[in-house]
Amino acid sequence: MSNLLNQGKLLVINAWRRHSLWRLSLSIALMLWLAVAVALFTIYQLSIQPLIQSRQQILLQHAQQLQSASETNAPSTLPDLLDDTLYNPQGIITVLRNKNGELYGSLSHFPRTLPECPRLKPFPVIRGNSDSISLLEGCQFEMDGYSVLVATDSEYLWQMRENFENTAIVVLICAFFIALIPSWIIRRKMKSQLSGIHSVVSQIEKGRFGGRIKTNDSHDEWDNIAHYINAMLDEIESSISQIRGVTDAIAHDLRTPLTRIKNRIATLEDLPEYQSIPQANITQIRVEFDDLLQTFNAMLELSKLENIGDKSQFVDLDLSRIIHDAAELAEPQLEEKQQTLTIDASPVSIKGEPSLLFRLIYNLLDNAYKYCPEQAKVKIQLTHNALIIEDNGPGVPKSQQQKIMQRLYRADKSRNTPGHGLGLALVAVVAKLHDINIDVGFSHLEQETGFKITLHLPNTKG
């Protein structure tokens, strides 16, 4: 039981720490509730409490007057003073008890537990022939052989205070829930604004720089923040476009002279001097030229795909068939390293461009072939809402998982592996074109091994 309580306490604490909007809402509600509590306390101190204190002060003044009267009158005449209206002001009750226990006054009972004046204490009595109980408040003192009780009927004051306290409790409970309304409105407003910012930022994190925060031209704080962020995104998108433009221009400008150099090397084969050059060197030069040209061609192709906005060529297709076609092409490569491929794909319909989706899946299988050791296991799983490709290889460090989709980026462990660092970049571009979100992680979270990529499919049909 104690473990359950501790777990519940931890959940509440963690939720309180994570959800700052809830903390703000409850703080606002608490401040409004405290304001109502202070107002009720102030009303009590300025209205009911002065009435009670005034009544008690009159009662103590009456006791002092009795003591003063005893000094100027004989003790035997003290019972006669009870009939004098001068000493019975504002409903104050006076009772005398002599040493023989005889009572003089309007009460037939003299409580024994009353404190000495000036301390006051409430006590119940039955007055006259009535069966109802009245609540009096008073004290007692000794005077010339008499025990004197002075009291006042404060029942209406106690009833007033009790009613006020009950009303205050109800008001405080209602005030707390009413105070949640403006805090809920504020929280909803802030959550709406923050969700818009979060949506745009998450799109930017995935490389989609076209999103902008909606503004309503109200020129409030949130609207100003949205304008600033949108202006910043405009600058970032412009800078990225310029960088991509320069990169594409370099790739385009270098591709032509590299092609010419390669062709000129081919024309040198008929010269006598060419025969003296080791054939291995010539082959290596050709391979390196081919790699450079493939890199530039791939970069230009990526730029072309990134600028595609027209999806009119998309058709309804069965993604499971494309998976099997890509696996059939990659299977000979996987067999070279004795790697096994397992496919669990039920028919799923999606709108897209078949050749691009084929290349996306093939690039992921080729990536597994390159970076997984021999006898590794690769698994493809297709559901109605996601395509998952994972292996039991070394995986990608957590610090680099968000970078491997960038152009020309290669993880430290893949520096010595043949490639251009553009395969996963093409996967990211094709996924973006098809509104597919990508998550990268580990196949085995505890050991942090294995590479797992999840493609969240949009609006699929089984």
Three-state secondary structure string covering 384-404: CCEEEEEECCCCCCHHHCCCC
Q: What is the mean pLDDT of residues 205-212?
A: 70
Contacts with 32 (C-beta within 8 Å, 6 or more apart), sequence order = 175, 178, 179, 182, 183
Closest among 298, 316, 253 to 421, alpha carbons compared = 298
Structure tokens at 238: 């412009």
Domain-located, residue 267: yes
Residue-range definition of the domain harbouring residue 399: 315-456
CATH number at residue 421: 3.30.565.10
Given 277, 306, 335, the domain boundary residue is 306
Helix or strand (DSSP H, E) at 97? strand 92-97
Closest among 126, 128, 79, 141 to 105, alpha carbons compared = 79
450 shares a domain with 340:
yes
Q: What's the burial of 351, exposed, middle or buried (CB within 10 Å: 0-12/13-18/19+)?
A: middle
448 shares a domain with 321:
yes
223 confidence band (pLDDT: 50, 70, 90): confident
Domain-located, residue 4: no
Residue 7 scores a pLDDT above 90: no
What is the structure's pLDDT at 276? Answer: 64
Question: Which segment, 54-68, 199-213, 336-350, is predicted with the most confidence on average?
Answer: 336-350
248 shares a domain with 182:
no
Domain-located, residue 447: yes
Structure tokens at 191: 């959550």
- The per-residue pLDDT for range 453-462, each reduced to its tens digit, is 999 998 755 5
Domain-located, residue 292: yes
Residue 420 scores a pLDDT above 80: no
What is the structure's pLDDT at 381? Answer: 92
Residues shown for the chain = 462
Please list the helix, strand and coil fractions of the chain in percent, rounded to the nearest 5, in that order.
60, 15, 25
Share of the chain above pLDDT 90, in %: 6
Q: Count the domains in the chain.
A: 3
320 shares a domain with 438:
yes
Of the candidate ranges 240-249, 288-297, 410-419, the one whose mean pLDDT is the lowest = 410-419
229 shares a domain with 190:
no
CATH number at residue 230: 1.10.287.130
- The per-residue pLDDT for range 234-250, each reduced to its tens digit, is 877 777 666 666 666 66
335 shares a domain with 276:
no
Residue 318 scores a pLDDT above 50: yes
Q: Tell me the pairing of strands 146-153 and 92-97.
A: antiparallel
Q: How far apart are alpha carbons 76 and 302 in whole angstroms?
A: 119
239 shares a domain with 159:
no
DSSP annotation of 407 reads T
What is the structure's pLDDT at 298? Answer: 66
- What residue has token string 């805090």? 183
Residue 358 scores a pLDDT above 50: yes
Residue 305 scores a pLDDT above 80: no
164 confidence band (pLDDT: 50, 70, 90): confident
Q: What is the mean pLDDT of residues 76-97?
A: 62
Domain-located, residue 391: yes
Q: Please, what is the average pLDDT of the chain?
A: 76
Residue 387 scores a pLDDT above 80: yes
321 confidence band (pLDDT: 50, 70, 90): very high
Residue 348 scores a pLDDT above 50: yes
Question: Which segment, 124-138, 203-217, 218-232, 262-276, is predicted with the most confidence on average?
Answer: 218-232
CATH number at residue 66: 3.30.450
Sign for the pseudo-dihedral over CA of 288, 291, 297, 298: negative
Domain-located, residue 51: yes
Domain-located, residue 396: yes
177 shares a domain with 239:
no
Question: Which segment, 129-138, 182-191, 200-209, 266-275, is predicted with the most confidence on average?
Answer: 182-191
Cα angle at 11 between 8 and 17, to 5 degrees? 145
Closest among 207, 236, 211, 210 to 405, alpha carbons compared = 207
Residue 84 scores a pLDDT above 60: no
23 shares a domain with 106:
yes
Residue 446 scores a pLDDT above 80: yes
What is the structure's pLDDT at 240? Answer: 67
Report which of residues 359 and 261 the model is more confident about.
359
Q: Please give the single-letter amino acid code of residue 378.
A: V
Of the candidate ranges 58-62, 264-268, 326-330, 380-384, the one whose mean pLDDT is the lowest = 264-268
148 shares a domain with 25:
yes
How far is Cα of residue 175 from the mean position of the Cα atoms in its chain?
A: 26
Residue 146 scores a pLDDT above 50: yes
Helix or strand (DSSP H, E) at 205? helix 155-205
Q: How far apart are alpha carbons 101 and 182 in whole angstroms?
A: 66
413 shares a domain with 334:
yes
Three-class DSSP category at 126: strand
Q: Tell me the pairing of strands 340-345 and 377-382.
A: parallel
What is the structure's pLDDT at 86? Answer: 41
380 confidence band (pLDDT: 50, 70, 90): very high
Sign for the pseudo-dihedral over CA of 23, 28, 33, 35: positive
* pTM metric for this prediction: 0.49
Domain-located, residue 72: yes
What is the structure's pLDDT at 382? Answer: 92
Q: What is the mean pLDDT of residues 130-153?
A: 78
Helix or strand (DSSP H, E) at 324? helix 319-336
How far is Cα of residue 385 from the mean position of the Cα atoms in its chain?
A: 26
DSSP annotation of 114 reads P
320 shares a domain with 300:
no
